[in-house]
Amino acid sequence: MRCKMLGLVPEAMRRHDLVYLHPAAAFTTPCAVSGDPFWQAAADWIAGGRPLVAARQSGAAGSLLLGLSLPLAQQRKKLSIHVERSALAEISAPLSIARCCPRLPAAEGDVLRQLAAEAVACSARLGVFGSLAWEVLSGEDYRHAESDIDLICDVETLTQFDVMLAALQRAAGQLSCRLDGEIRFPDGNAVAWREVAAYRACPAAAVLVKGPHEVSLQPLQVLLASLKEEPCHA
Return the active site residues: 148, 150
Long-range contacts of 186-189 (CB under 8 A, 24+ apart): 186/155, 186/156, 186/226, 186/227, 187/226, 188/14, 188/15, 188/212, 189/218, 189/223, 189/226
Which residues lie across from 128 on neighbouring strands? Answer: 95, 151
- Cα angle 67, 46, 100 (rounded to 5 degrees) comes to 65
Q: What residues contact residue 37 under an 8 Å CB cut-off, 6+ apart?
A: 74
DSSP letter, residue 187: T
